[in-house]
Amino acid sequence: MGNRNFSRRKFIVRTAAGIGMGFLSQCTAVPGRETGTSRDREILRRGIKVASVDLQHLYPEKTIERRIIDILARMENAAAYRPDIICLPETFNTSYVDEEKSYADIAEDEHNPGPVISRMGEFAAKNKCYVICPVVTKNEGKFYNSAILLGRKGEMTGIFHKVHPVDTEIGDGKGIIPGPVRAPVFETDFGKIGIQICFDANWFESWTLLKEDGAEIVFFPSQFPGGRMLNFYAWKNEYYIVSSTGEDARIIDITGIAINTSTFQLGYTWGSLNLEKVNVPTFPGRYRIPDIFKKYGDKVMIRDYWDAGDGTGDGAGHMTVESLDPDVFVRDILQEFEIPTHHEELIREEKIQAKYRS
């Protein structure tokens, strides 16, 4: 554990656009991972480790304190993977807990860490990882269903307010207040992240705005799993989604395919994400593959998801291009071989359509 300060890869932020509203993490670069093993290939300049916890087997619970103790124990198990960030479920400290308290009793001040945020901050500092800590917060007499982003030192670095709380949360104007539709995007030392909570899964525009503002991973603390909606959002917006819910925890690739998920026996999940990975259209991408391999060889990974008629593809007509070398950037490859991203290709097509649309 003594060398954990030196176990994170160095990340250089190359763009400052699209930070969004709310608090902004001001994180410094951290030293790169030193392995000296065959795993070096998967430890990339923009490769990160994530973990996510669910509430399976943790409810019904009698007291809030017991829930927090159980969650921390599950987080310690996940911490053995040495993640860069761990996500917890929506209102993890009070959901399915018999002990009843009002919002006024449980809400934590957004400017001064309360008892729950402080304990999660201690965990973050001990394990040198970010933690997404979803709790009810208060600010100027108003209550929010929130997710606090805690930094590697345990400090509060950002806050997201649930955009679409359900009617039972809002109550006669005395309960939870909806957050702004344009949710913040937070800068971390590994990339830009966004957050959506539970019922937010039903509103397409919030997820699209996160894409527009540069989110590369979206975390989804929730009580319901979200199902296929999350898979679609991941593919459509070309970012990873990490869910942490009352029933499961999932890590979803930019292709919309689940990388890993928690199980009934194991209440947490984990995975490695490569932020140097993009979706590109099969055409013209497929014609550039031989030339890319001639120059870069095993420094890149290209996967074609076109349906070959045998059920092995998804029929979406796209490929992924992924860097396997810390000194090779996907954007440079695409520019060199004149391959648009999936998003860029759609913009190009829309311009042509608009020209000829009456």
For position 307, what pLDDT does the model report? 63
| CB neighbour burial string for 234-247, b if at least 16 within 10 angstroms, e if fewer | bbbbbbbbbbbbbb
For position 46, what pLDDT does the model report? 86
**Is 4-274 in CATH node 3.40.190.10?**
no
Cα gap 6→295, rounded to integer Å: 33
Write down the mean pLDDT value for the chain. Answer: 86
pLDDT digits (tens, 9 = 90+) for 229-248: 999 999 999 999 999 999 99
**Considering only 21-25, 69-73, 317-321, 334-338, which range has the smallest mean pLDDT?**
21-25
For position 18, what pLDDT does the model report? 29
pTM as predicted: 0.86
Cα gap 78→267, rounded to integer Å: 9
Percentage of the chain with pLDDT > 70? 85
Tokens encoding 154? 């345990």
Domain ranges of the chain: 4-274, 277-356
Percentage of the chain with pLDDT > 90? 78
Specify the higher pLDDT residue, 149 or 37. 149
CB of 139 within 8 A of CB of 177?
Answer: no
| CB neighbour burial string for 75-108, b if at least 16 within 10 angstroms, e if fewer | beebbebbbbbbbbbbbbbbbebeeeeebeebbb
pLDDT digits (tens, 9 = 90+) for 278-313: 999 998 889 999 999 999 999 999 998 876 554 555
Q: How far apart are the first and last CA of the chain?
A: 65
